[in-house]
């Protein structure tokens, strides 16, 4: 079940693969933790770090303290909520309040703070960047945590979106976008700092636009001449 969801939903969003077995043949700790958190999916529950540690000890008796759940989130991209990082205190069940606990929120959506090129980010404080945009999607204006303006059944979560998908996710190439406007599997557009489309980054929408007649015959000729000049030099 995790595998199917991973291939269908998470892999296209750049979430890192977690293999069940490590290269030495033993169970991978990340995989153990993920499987444990996924119990009863989609009706998952909050699991304390102690409980996870007990489970992993069945396979690795010398385990002191299981950190894997913490890393599965923003580092590997799995949508694992945490009591330490998030502010979910209102909604937390009594027994996990004030303790380190984790909950697998979705196997279809990546962690909202995850961006696949996170490692290349340098000195980017996404929280303050979001604040500059009043915690709204630069493109559609949906506010973080509130119902999405275009998909009101879904709660908006802001992600670090590329302005130009061909450039690294660095300070001046990031805008906050909601999970619907920032589709990592569809890097078609270039955005300005206001989240408006100012360019096309892929042949797909161009070809589609030609086929659908969005581009006039006269503009087709202009494009053709332009490309010909570039290719001939």
Per-residue binding letters, 149-188, with Zn ion (x by CB under 5 A): -----------------------------x--x-------
* Matching residue, tokens 């153990």: 32
> Is 38 a residue that touches Zn ion (CB under 5 A)?
no
Q: How far is the CB of 206 from Zn ion (least distance, A)?
A: 23
Alpha carbons 178 and 143: distance in angstroms, whole number: 8
Stretch that binds Zn ion, among 32-40, 112-120, 122-130, 134-142 (CB under 5 A): 134-142
Instruction: Give the single-character DSSP code of 6.
Output: I
**Sheet architecture: strand order including 78-82:** 47-48, 101-110, 78-82
CA-only gyration radius of the chain, Å = 21
> Is 139 a residue that touches Zn ion (CB under 5 A)?
yes
Closer to Zn ion by Cβ: residue 62 or 153: 153
> Is 140 a residue that touches Zn ion (CB under 5 A)?
yes
Closer to Zn ion by Cβ: residue 47 or 195: 195
| Residue 123, C-beta contacts closer than 8 angstroms, at least 6 positions apart | 171
Tokens coding 194 = 């206001």
Query: Which residues in this chain contact Zn ion in the complex, by CB under 5 A?
Result: 137, 139-140, 142, 178, 181
């Amino acid at each position: 079940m995790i595998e199917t969801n991973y291939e269908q939903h998470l892999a296209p969003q750049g979430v890192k693969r977690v293999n069940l077995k490590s290269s030495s043949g033993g169970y991978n700790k990340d995989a153990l933790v993920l499987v444990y958190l996924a119990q009863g999916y989609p009706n998952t529950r909050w699991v304390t770090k102690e409980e996870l540690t007990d489970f992993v000890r069945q396979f690795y008796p010398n385990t002191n303290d299981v950190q894997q759940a913490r890393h599965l989130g923003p580092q590997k991209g799995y949508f694992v909520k945490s009591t330490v990082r998030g502010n979910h205190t209102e909604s937390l069940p009594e027994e996990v309040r004030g303790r380190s606990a984790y909950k697998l929120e979705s196997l279809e959506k990546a962690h909202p703070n995850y961006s696949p090129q996170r490692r290349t980010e340098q000195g980017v404080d996404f929280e303050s960047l979001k604040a500059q945009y009043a915690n709204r999607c630069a493109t559609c204006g949906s506010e973080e945590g509130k119902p999405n303006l275009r998909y009101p059944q879904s709660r908006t979560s802001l992600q670090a979106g590329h302005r130009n998908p061909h450039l690294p996710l660095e300070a001046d190439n990031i805008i906050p976008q909601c999970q619907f406007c920032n589709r990592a599997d569809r890097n078609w557009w270039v955005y300005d700092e206001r989240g408006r489309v100012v360019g096309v980054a892929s042949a797909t929408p161009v070809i589609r636009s030609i086929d659908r007649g969005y581009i006039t015959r006269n503009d087709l000729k202009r494009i053709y001449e332009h490309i010909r000049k570039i290719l001939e030099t």
